[in-house]
Amino acid sequence: MSEKDYLPGAQVPDARGYFGAYGGRFIPEALVAAVEQVAEEYEKAKADPAFAAELDGLLKDYTGRPSPLTDVHRFSAEAGGARILLKREDLNHTGSHKINNVLGQALLTRRMGKTRIIAETGAGQHGVATATACALFGFDCTIYMGEVDTQRQALNVARMRMLGAEVVAVKSGSRTLKDAINEAFRDWVANVDSTHYLFGTVAGPHPFPMMVRDFHRIIGVEARQQVLDRTGRLPDAVVACVGGGSNAMGIFHEFIPDADVRLIGCEAAGEGADTPRHAATLTKGDPGVLHGSRTYVLQDEDGQTIESHSISAGLDYPGVGPEHAWLKDTGRAEYRPVTDDAAMQALRLLSRTEGIIPAIESAHALAGALELGRELGPEATILVSLSGRGDKDMHTAAQYFGLYDEQPAADDAGNGGK
């Protein structure tokens, strides 16, 4: 992996973990030694060909990489005829992109001699991927998950427990992803000698935003070549959903030097970005410090975090990775809000036109692609990160669309009621 200075004059991030004004390391003194150890071990691992070889082997033989690129013609017809290509991270082992980062950090954990892993999870996909790697490597595993999310993603709770992980339902605050991260940090401070905090997105203190991005870069590296091979040119736009921002950074990164390729992140707008119930951090937030780095945060005048809302547990987060904050301010990437309803309609549309049931998170990117396709017209090619599959979301979708027999079907025509 090469050091990049892909925007003029910028080394990204700098030695202190800053992407422009964003990033850094806002952590308690008790965690400084542990976070420095992660940074040092990661630098050593990057320089060690054996590390890269082992990770590549796992990505190929365990995860099933490279993930395919799928042309979705019938779906594209609904997007003004623009050609839509899906990068199929849903076909990875465990069902989402999250495994890419997890395997990298699991190898790092073994190098550091630690025996226990903790992680936060929202949708449960990062938790499942982490529990999976812990089973594979023989680590103890504790996953923190907001109580609200344990209910709406119950299938993934069962998967994690089947894999041998302890799942702790977090009952503080908004009882969602933000609070799961708080609780994981509390665990880490108390158990740092034995424990690695396997952070699941491109947020948190340096080096996590950089390291997690690097482990997901493969998404964009593969996809860029696949699009070139398939279409003979680069896409006009790359679209991904943004919770913390890991699948988006993973697919964006390789395209950053391609100035003609638009990079578009889709944030969860919940009931609407202009209502109080959304998770559109980059659209509606302000710079602040949350969970170890300076970034955009949904916060009030006193710097108290405002609770986010989204039908998607994985996007229901009032912060975002600092590199996205920087890409937004520099104008290199654009961020758009996508409502719950737009995402759910896109979820159903992809299911019915292509036989692919996406995760609700990924459905936000699909909704963004539909809108963008109509703007750009039939000549355009749009690459979409299909970050995960929708099995975990069937309960939510069944309720949304009235798919259970005992429930009256709310509105079979399309505007599914809640």
Partner 1 sequence: MASKLSGILAAAKAENRAALIGYLPAGFPTVDGGIRAINALIEGGCDVVEVGLPHSDPVLDGAVIQTADDIALRGGVRIKDVLRTVQEVATAHPEAAVLVMTYWNPVERYGTARFAADLAAAGGTGCILPDLPVEESEEWRKAADAHGLDTVFVVAPSSKDKRLAEVTAAGSGFVYAAAVMGVTGTRTQVGSLAEDLVARTRATTDLPVCVGLGVSNAEQAAEVAGFADGVIVGSAFVKRILDADGDEPAALAAVRAVAGELAEGVRRR
Decide if 29 is catalytic.
Answer: no
Helix, strand and coil in the chain, % to nearest 5 = 45, 20, 35
The item of ligand PLP, partner 1, none sharing an interface with residue 347, based on CB under 5 to 8 Å by kind, is: none
Closest CA to 240 of 293, 177, 315, 180: 315
* Rounded distance between C-alpha atoms, residue 131 and residue 147, angstroms: 18
Which SS3 state, helix, strand or coil, does residue 128 take? helix
- Nearer to ligand PLP by Cβ, of 248 and 261: the residue is 248
Q: Which of 58, 242, 280, 363 binds ligand PLP (CB under 6 A)?
A: 242
The item of ligand PLP, partner 1, none sharing an interface with residue 178, based on CB under 5 to 8 Å by kind, is: partner 1
Decide if 120 is catalytic.
Answer: yes
Q: Which token pair is 120? A: 């936060």
Query: Hey, which residues between 180 and 219 contact ligand PLP (CB under 6 A)?
Result: 201
Q: Which of 65, 83, 88, 126 binds ligand PLP (CB under 6 A)?
A: 126
Alpha carbon 163 to its chain centroid, in Å, reads 22
Q: Which token pair is 392? A: 């975990």
Q: Which token pair is 333? A: 């990437």
Q: Which of 211, 241, 298, 367 binds ligand PLP (CB under 6 A)?
A: 241
Decide if 89 is catalytic.
Answer: no
| 132 near ligand PLP (CB under 6 A) | no
Q: Write the interaction track for ligand PLP spanning residues 308-337; mark x where CB under 6 A is met and - where it is not.
A: ------xx----------------------
For residue 234, which phi and psi values (nearest 5 degrees)?
A: -80, 155
- Nearer to ligand PLP by Cβ, of 297 and 315: the residue is 315
How far, CA to CA in Å, does 114 sit from each of 34, 110, 134?
Answer: 11, 6, 12
User: Are 132 and 93 contacting, i.e. CB atoms less than 8 angstroms apart?
Assistant: yes
* Rounded distance between C-alpha atoms, residue 252 and residue 298, angstroms: 24
Which residues would be at the binding site for partner 1 (CB under 8 A)?
Answer: 16, 24-34, 172-173, 178, 182, 185-186, 189-193, 286, 288-291, 297, 299, 301-305
Interface residue list for ligand PLP (CB under 6 A): 96, 122-123, 125-126, 201, 241-248, 314-315, 359, 361-362, 387-388
Catalytic residue numbers, as ranges: 98, 120, 387
